[in-house]
Amino acid sequence: MKNWMALFFGVLIGTYTYGQSSYVDSLLTERAEKDHELADAEHSPLQEMDRAKFEHLNYFEINEAWNKQAKVTLIEEKDTIGFGTSSGRIKQFATYALLTFQHNNQAFELIAYKRVWPKDYVSPYPPSLFVPFTDLTTGNLCYGGGRYMDIDIPESDGEIELDFNRCYNPYCAYGGGFSCPIPPKENFLDVEIRAGESAYDKH
């Protein structure tokens, strides 16, 4: 009986550890791929002078507590909003869904947006929703222009994964020549989100 119980708990712990390891490994792989892309002269979006200084991105320690299940409420009357950008240009986005999640027994909300492209323009990117935000780390531990997340487009109300370990800086954090949307004030989170990408140091 004792041997059976030991085997049972060994398998249970091993499965849990594997699940954790698989999640962490996938994040580390994604981060290594992004570093490679930014350093590669053929594929990097960075200008040569900025790429020459680039070594790697900085991240907070992976924390699964920031991988949230958010409640999705689709917005019926979708407003088109002009987002200001770092270059002064205006980019159009439509409000799409309200995302509600809990942290330390407190509820927080974010609005997810869908990009409105110019007429006849075909985006090279797969369809997704854009979730720009600022929080209490913005401007100190993290880039002053906020951070972004991309999520799948939900077809109905329900729940969706909102993984702050995957949030990232706009390209403007690494150098010049970009036009990065500025997160709206509605997407300010009154909490320190110590997850995902942190401030970039130009080496």
pLDDT digits (tens, 9 = 90+) for 79-130: 999 999 999 999 999 999 999 999 999 999 999 999 998 888 888 888 999 9
Largest CA distance in the chain: 71
Which pLDDT score is estimated for 130? 98
Contact 45, 171 (CB under 8 A): yes
Planar angle of CA 95, 99, 100, nearest 5 degrees? 145
**DSSP assigned state of 124:** S
Count of all residues that appear for the chain in the document: 203
- pLDDT per residue as tens digits for the range 3-51: 544 443 344 444 444 456 899 999 999 999 999 999 998 889 888 888 8
Percent of the chain scoring above 70 in pLDDT? 89
Residue 48, CA distances (Å) to 31, 54, 143 in order: 21, 10, 21
Q: What are 107's two structure tokens? A: 């509820």
Contact 133, 149 (CB under 8 A): yes
Q: What are the sequence ranges of the domains in the chain? A: 47-187
